[in-house]
């Protein structure tokens, strides 16, 4: 396709085109879409080596295909944001897809999926300064707390610093907290209500101010009690591609009725739906708002 050829030409011969595109981008006037909520497409999984969607372990490995799916999603009415790492966001900048969109830069991608150091979620992508200089609206960080891994404290400290630095630039700090454990050598997130309450209360207290902190949380059992643990605004994440899409949409819809829940941040479940097209999946999610 011609626009992808232009993208490759810019990346190869005109790398300064990325900064120029960021400077020329039209920023949104508000974080919220016409529905009064945030509807963000998440696409930061590949930078952690997490390429699986559904039964396909390499579903996200074809970058042009992934970009086309993201472009389709961003073009749907009601979608007003995207979350990604520098490589993906800069591709979208060069393709002219980020005008009037809420852009969230993914910050700590060092905890590569399936590695012995997965719990060491170092900040290997954006920092607060680069997010602000690019004119993006915020930064997202993953905070997995493993009670048995002393490396967790370094991630806590790094996230606290990032929250403070983003707030100092009046940028959203989107924190995605979990209590996590290794089970048979693999990292598993504890999705019980008690674990999510504990993780959220720790995340809410990070940094020198919580004024710009938002939480990114999954739907779990007893969601009313979970969300009562904080007054911070929250966004519901989509997680893995659901085998039961009907149940996933129903759960998102119920969570959106809670007062602190301000929208959705969904990636693979919409970009690689178990059935139907990307446009159909996105339109149905927007309809929940």
CA distance 175 to 193: 18
Weakly modelled stretches of the chain, pLDDT under 70 = 1
CA distance 131 to 137: 8
pLDDT at 54: 87
pLDDT in tens, 126-166: 999 999 999 999 999 999 999 999 889 999 999 999 999 99
Query: Secondary structure of the chain in the HEC alphabet?
Result: CHHHHHHHHHHHHCCHHHHHHHHHCCCCCCCCCCCCCEEEEEECCHHHCCCCECCECCCCCCHHHHHHHHHHHHCCCCCCEEEECHHHHHHHHHCCCCCCCEEEEECCCCCCCCCCCCCCCCCCCCCHHHHHHHCCCEEEEEEEECCCCCCHHHHHHHHHHHHHHHHHCCCEEEEEEEEEEEECCEEEEECCHHHHHHHHHHHHCCCCCCCCEEEEECCCCCHHHHHCCCCCCEEEECCCCCCCHHHHHHHHHHHCCCCCEEEEEECHHHHCCCCCCHHHHHHHHHHCC
Residue 209 is encoded by which pair of tokens? 């101010």
pLDDT at 55: 87
pLDDT at 1: 57
pLDDT at 239: 79
Asked if 94 contacts 63 with a C-beta cutoff of 8 angstroms, the reply is: no
Domains of the chain: 2-287 (3.20.20.70)
114, with CB counted inside 10 A (0-12, 13-18, 19+), is exposed
Range 236-259 burial, b when 16+ CB lie within 10 A, else e: bbbbebbeebeebbebbbebbeee
pLDDT at 151: 84
């Amino acid at each position: 396709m011609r626009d992808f050829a232009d993208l490759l030409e810019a990346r190869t011969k005109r790398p300064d085109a990325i900064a120029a595109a960021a400077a020329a981008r039209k920023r949104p006037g508000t974080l919220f879409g016409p529905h009064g909520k945030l509807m963000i497409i998440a696409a930061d999984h590949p930078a952690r080596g997490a390429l699986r969607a559904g039964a396909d372990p390499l579903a996200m490995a074809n970058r042009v295909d992934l970009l086309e799916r993201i472009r389709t999603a961003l073009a749907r009415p009601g979608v007003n944001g995207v979350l990604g790492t520098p490589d993906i966001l800069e591709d979208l900048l060069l393709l002219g897809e980020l005008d009037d969109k809420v852009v969230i830069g993914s910050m700590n991608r060092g905890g590569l999926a399936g590695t012995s150091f997965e719990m060491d979620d170092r900040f290997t992508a954006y920092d607060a300064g680069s997010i602000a200089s690019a004119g993006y609206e915020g930064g997202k960080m993953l905070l997995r707390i493993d009670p048995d891994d002393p490396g967790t404290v370094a991630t806590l400290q790094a996230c606290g610093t990032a929250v403070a630095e983003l707030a100092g630039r009046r940028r959203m700090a989107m924190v995605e907290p979990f209590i996590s454990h290794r089970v048979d050598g693999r990292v598993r997130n504890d999705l019980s209500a008690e674990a999510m309450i504990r993780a959220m209360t720790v995340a809410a207290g990070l940094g020198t101010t919580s004024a710009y902190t938002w939480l990114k949380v999954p739907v779990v059992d007893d969601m009313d009690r979970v969300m009562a643990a904080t007054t911070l605004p929250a966004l519901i994440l989509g997680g893995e591609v659901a085998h039961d899409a009907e149940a996933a949409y129903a759960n998102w819809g119920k969570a959106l009725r809670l007062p602190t829940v301000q929208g959705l941040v969904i990636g693979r479940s919409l970009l690689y739906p178990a059935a139907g097209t990307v446009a159909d999946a996105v339109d149905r999610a927007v309809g929940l708002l």
